[in-house]
Amino acid sequence: MRELPTYTIQQLALRNGQDREEVWIAYKKVIYDVTKSKLWRDGKHYEHWAGQDLTHEFGDAPHNENVFDKFKAIGQLP
């Protein structure tokens, strides 16, 4: 497995679909690019906002971790 670049939480926060075109989210310290997902349009997915680590919010999700399989892991948090 290739080593992913490390981004700070501040760099992740800029990829919120508002400040820049990229829409990124993190789960268990892995950053995923969800820019092309229609479910993350404008950086929002139901009550969740992009540009942050959503690990602590995942318990409320109606899906399991396999949902991240369809997105490219592009980085990691320190």
For residues 47-78, one letter each, b for 16 or more C-beta atoms within 10 angstroms of the residue's C-beta and e for the rest, the string is: ebbbbbbbeeeeeeeeeeeeebeebebbbebe
More confident of the two residues 9 and 61? 9
- Kindly report, residue by residue over 3-49, the tens digit of the pLDDT: 999 999 999 999 999 988 999 999 999 999 999 999 998 898 888 89
Structurally, what CATH architecture does the domain formed by 9-76 represent?
A: Roll (3.10)
User: Domain locations in the chain?
Assistant: 9-76
Pick from 40, 38, 26: nearest CA to 74:
26
Bridge partners of residue 45, in order along the sequence: 48
**DSSP tag of 77:** -
Q: In sequence order, which ranges of the chain are alpha helices (DSSP H)?
A: 9-14
Task: With a cut of 80, say whether residue 64 has pLDDT above it.
Answer: no
